[in-house]
Amino acid sequence: MAFDAYGAVLGRVLYPAWERLRGRPTFPLLHQLQRSERISLDELTAQRTGYLRRLIRHAYHHTAHYRALFDAAGLHPSDITTLSDLRSVPLLPRAIAQTTVETRTAPYPVVAVSKATSGSTGQPLEVRFSAESRHWRDATRWRGFGWGGYHMGDKAMHLWGLAAVPPSALTRAKIAIDRKLRRDIYASCMVRSNENLHEMVELIRSERPQVLAGYGQALADLARYVNREGLRSWDTIPVIYGAERLWDHDRADLAQAFGPAVFETYGCREFMLMGSECEAHDGLHESAENLIVELVVREPDGSTRPALPGEQGEVAVTDLHNLACPFIRYLTGDLATARAQAPCPCGRTLPRFGAIDGRITDTMRDAAGNPVEGILFNILFLNMAKHTRQFQAIQRRDGSLLLKVVPTATGRLPAEVERLIREFVGKHLRGIALTIELVTEIPLTTAGKLRRVVVEAGGWSPSHDLGETGS
């Protein structure tokens, strides 16, 4: 690749100057994080413990919610002296986070940013954070993207949905300057018709982005289009994806279309980047200086414990630098697989967690009204990835199940596969009438995401105690 003079100036001079103008110390913090990702585990733990104790003290002394929560649990901030002591603090489910925004807000530091998370279902959640937390978020995100080869100043093409709420004129102006400076290109992935996919290919050819970023399934759809039409005319372009799970066959499609540099990231609007894949492509490194990511298993008796290596747990996040409106052990609604902590070949000491194994989906019900975890369908279709591209399971108000399936190239579902699906549904959703519909595409949500499991509102709606679906 030719030396990118503008990119170099942009990354080293213009962008840092703009950040300074906006009063954001993103750069010094980024450099600090690039050092701390390789410090010893003991040092890292000591650093995080210090941040955690500060957060807990602040939350207890300055927010009504955490004062009441700790008092009710018979806890005092002085009880939290190690990272594992955090487990004695009750979890914060989304439903409680929604109703405690005011009582979790401290009188200081001031709230610098307030935003609503866009859920595909349920009520939005207001997230407030301090300026300090924003710097940490920005720096952490740039560090994680950097592992995938996306650095400040690089020309990136983003495949995203549209914002649910149009930003104000001032915000739009700031965003426009930011994008211009960063040379970012945005392509909406709401509709993925051949025509739209072709426009994206044209954009790649004319704009020559140095990195592609976006929803996993949107990028995979683009890759499949490129491969199907034989349109690849570029060297490797790193791909950074998030928000949606990619199966092995999706990653193979991406590698064929854009080269082998495919990196998963795990983020959300509440906390931004929580984990990123490194060049070892073996799990995601936790954004450990900014957050504590726990994987929690809830036992039938209501007690909780950390997930064992190889076991799936609910993601609970503690936001270490947001003292303005603390989130302690917030359940994001996602599931991830725990791993044994072994050194990563890349040399970074930040702990790793396994792939995000699926969002917590809506809960279905069998004919007797028993809850059935929608994630079962992810498992079913993981095993059938050879025959199906995409699927969506919709439980209708009357309880019946509509399974929309996009088959692979053959355009049909082998009888054997259909038999297995019917058997699976018969076993797990007892007494439920099943219709299988072969389709060429599955409509996306207004945010441009694919919802795998949909339970139509009414008598069959799920309990939302685990929060809304994330996809």
Q: Smallest gap, in angstroms, from Cβ of residue 288 to Zn ion?
A: 12
Whose Cβ is closer to Zn ion: residue 27's or residue 241's?
Answer: 241
Q: Smallest gap, in angstroms, from Cβ of residue 69 to Zn ion?
A: 36
Whose Cβ is closer to Zn ion: residue 111's or residue 280's?
Answer: 280
Token pair for 297 = 């298993």
If you ran DSSP here, which 8-state letter would residue 92 be given? B
In the complex, the residues that contact Zn ion under the rule CB under 5 A are: 278, 280, 344, 346, 348
Whose Cβ is closer to Zn ion: residue 26's or residue 276's?
Answer: 276
Whose Cβ is closer to Zn ion: residue 101's or residue 346's?
Answer: 346
What are residue 40's phi and psi, to 5 degrees?
Answer: -65, 155
Whose Cβ is closer to Zn ion: residue 278's or residue 291's?
Answer: 278
Please tell me the distance from the alpha carbon of residue 162 to that of residue 435, in angstroms, as a whole number: 32
Whose Cβ is closer to Zn ion: residue 335's or residue 350's?
Answer: 350
Q: Smallest gap, in angstroms, from Cβ of residue 462 to Zn ion?
A: 37
Amino acid of residue 89: V
Q: Mapping DSSP to helix (H, G, I), strand (E, B) and coil, where does residue 50 land? A: helix
Q: Which helix (H) or strand (E) element contains residue 125?
A: strand 125-129
Of the chain, the end-to-end C-alpha distance in Å amounts to 36
Q: Name the pairing type of β-strands 262-268 and 272-277.
A: antiparallel
Q: Name the one residue in this structure whose structure tokens are 């279902």.
A: 121
Whose Cβ is closer to Zn ion: residue 353's or residue 377's?
Answer: 353
Token pair for 301 = 């008796």
CA 114, chain centre distance (Å): 19
- To the nearest 5 percent, what fractions of the chain are helix, strand and coil? 35, 25, 40
Q: Smallest gap, in angstroms, from Cβ of residue 262 to Zn ion?
A: 15
Q: Smallest gap, in angstroms, from Cβ of residue 246 to Zn ion?
A: 19
Query: Are 212 and 157 within 8 A, CB to CB?
Result: yes
Query: Are 184 and 160 within 8 A, CB to CB?
Result: no
Please tell me the distance from the alpha carbon of residue 344 to that of residue 283, in angstroms, as a whole number: 9
